[in-house]
Amino acid sequence: MKNQILILFVSICFGASSCKKVELEPKNDVVTPVESTRLAVYPNWPEAFNTGTKTSYAAANVTLATGIWNLSDALLGSSSSDRKNGTQSVRIQNTGTITMNFNLSLGASSVSVAHGKFGTDANSTWGLWHSANNGSTWTQTGSTITTSSTTLSTATFTMALIGNVRFQLRKLSGGRLNVDDFSISDNDVSGPTRDDNLAMGNPSSAFANVGAPNNYLMTKTQYVLAYNNSRGTANWVSWHLSAAWKGAATRCDCFTGDASLPTGFFKAVTSNYTNSGFDRGHMCPSEDRDGSSSDNAATFLMTNIIPQAPNNNQQTWKNFEAYCQGLTTSGQEMYIVSGGYGIGGTGSLGGVTNTINNGNITVPNRVWKVVIILPDGGNDVSRVSTSTRVIAIDTPNTQTVNGLPWGSYRTTVDAIESATGYDILSNLPDAIEAALEAQVDAGPTN
């Protein structure tokens, strides 16, 4: 498929004012995972501060979901002026602290903290400290952070700490501060990792240039996609899945228009799907990104959504998603690409619907997914062989799709590439790519 993709790339650029690659600016305070980056969130984290009760600033211990913490000059706030993702967050005044009274045994590779100004208070500064001797002495980790917004943002500290470790957040100056979603990733290099979401290849040679609005590359921490402005959805979405992405964050159900789309592009909003007969169907599932609230919220951006027949989204597709998620509990990681193609699906209103929202959003005729499965490890592309399991499914976007289990829709990657014009596993050596793409998976389905 490589020659076909070159032709596709040239045809997209032809006539455009510029085909120069435009680099996407990274968002502040975001760590972008790359191959073999260690970012496995500890089980039962992040700490969302939604359990426990502490209504005074006086120093005291409080039992939270992750363990016993000491809050000094700090309380658990739930007022409308407290910045929070759930029902509560920590509110700290003066030079207050929040301190873990317990250790985590596998060290730490990163700590992420959501932070915002309480009410209309002044800006504040704060920092993160760690202790490797049960809290006897503390060392600052990373730089001092300034909180200047009333909207929660995330500060991420990277490190390479081994053995027992605990953390303390110290407010240093300014007005009252809210902190939420305290997340810690271990430093156990033998376990699963968060890796490059596009490691297996860029299926359509998408790039970030407004001159190619129908093949516009969008790189997010949680997944990568190629947006098609004429269809109002992604051509494809690509992501990595392992236990390192999994956690206890709740499903936010916060469908949101993607503000990072360029000016002049169509930006879908959730109401565009209302009464259409089609679900807001995730490509990268919510359950694949429950390691933190911010990871989960990213899956509800409308660029990750396509019009999907309810019986497909809620049954056939969901069952396949659950199967893949289950593999993460047995020491396996996956690279996944999915999308839709063709025009015209059948939703809950019956008949065939080609578009919704006055023609701005195309309803796909088929919905496909390709999954590459590997044991947890590093250097993933080099570990793919002709015996690597690859599952490709191609489902009709109809209400009768659930009459068969997802395994009945297995096909070859070659067939999906023929239908879409993509080169899905382009980063693999040609001989391995050719062998894997010609096979129909015959492995277990539950």
pLDDT digits (tens, 9 = 90+) for 7-33: 333 333 333 333 333 333 333 333 333
Count of beta carbons in the 10 Å neighbourhood of residue 260: 16
| Interatomic CA distance for residues 182 and 176, integer angstroms | 18
Q: What separation in angstroms does the CA of 375 have from each of 330, 335, 382, 421?
A: 9, 11, 13, 29
Tokens of 114: 């959501």
* Nearest CA-CA partner of 179 in 296, 83, 250: 83
pLDDT band at residue 190, thresholds of 50, 70 and 90?
Answer: low
Note the pLDDT tens digit of each residue in 237-275.
999 999 999 998 999 999 999 999 999 999 999 999 999
Neighbouring-strand partners of residue 63: 68
What is the average per-residue pLDDT within 202-224? Answer: 96
In degrees rounded to 5, what are phi and psi of residue 68?
-95, 125
Could you confirm whether 282 is annotated as catalytic? yes
* CATH code for the structural domain at 2-37+191-437: 3.40.570.10
* Nearest CA-CA partner of 131 in 100, 171, 86, 92: 100
DSSP alpha helices (H): ranges in 332-409?
A: 380-383
Looking at residue 39, what is its pLDDT?
53
What is the average per-residue pLDDT within 85-89? Answer: 93
What is the average per-residue pLDDT within 146-172? Answer: 94
| End-to-end CA gap in the chain | 32
pTM: 0.64
Report yes or no: 5 and 426 within 8 Å, Cβ to Cβ.
yes
Report yes or no: 33 and 194 within 8 Å, Cβ to Cβ.
yes
Report yes or no: 239 and 218 within 8 Å, Cβ to Cβ.
no
Looking at residue 32, what is its pLDDT?
35
Cis amide linkage into residue 46, ω under 30° from 0: yes
Tokens of 194: 């968060």
Higher pLDDT, 162 or 372: 372
| pLDDT at position 43 over 60 | yes
* Nearest CA-CA partner of 242 in 194, 206, 279, 204: 194
| pLDDT at position 293 over 80 | yes
Looking at residue 8, what is its pLDDT?
39
Task: Calculate the CA 105 to chain-centre distance.
Answer: 26
In degrees rounded to 5, what are phi and psi of residue 315?
-125, -80
Note the pLDDT tens digit of each residue in 96-150.
999 999 999 989 989 999 999 999 999 999 999 999 999 999 999 999 999 999 9
Token match 């597709």: residue? Answer: 317
Note the pLDDT tens digit of each residue in 342-376.
999 999 999 999 999 999 999 999 999 999 999 99
The CATH-assigned architecture of domain 60-185 is: Sandwich (2.60)
Token match 């602290």: residue? Answer: 97
How big, in percent rounded to 5, are the helix, strand and coil portions of the chain? 20, 35, 50
Count of beta carbons in the 10 Å neighbourhood of residue 36: 14
* Nearest CA-CA partner of 183 in 43, 53, 298: 43
Neighbouring-strand partners of residue 281: 306
Contacts of 238 (CB under 8 A, 6+ apart): 197, 198, 200, 202, 203, 223, 224, 225, 335, 336, 337
Tokens of 178: 């809210």
Looking at residue 160, what is its pLDDT?
87
In degrees rounded to 5, what are phi and psi of residue 233?
-145, 175
For β-strands 305-308 and 279-282, DSSP reports them as antiparallel
Contacts of 386 (CB under 8 A, 6+ apart): 431, 432, 435, 436
What is the average per-residue pLDDT within 170-178? Answer: 98
The domains of the chain are located at 2-37+191-437, 60-185
* Residue of 115, 130, 240, 282 with catalytic role: 282
Report yes or no: 64 and 102 within 8 Å, Cβ to Cβ.
no
Looking at residue 14, what is its pLDDT?
33
* Nearest CA-CA partner of 369 in 314, 411, 310, 423: 411
| Interatomic CA distance for residues 232 and 412, integer angstroms | 27
Tokens of 284: 């990268």
Contacts of 2 (CB under 8 A, 6+ apart): 423, 426, 430
Looking at residue 386, what is its pLDDT?
97
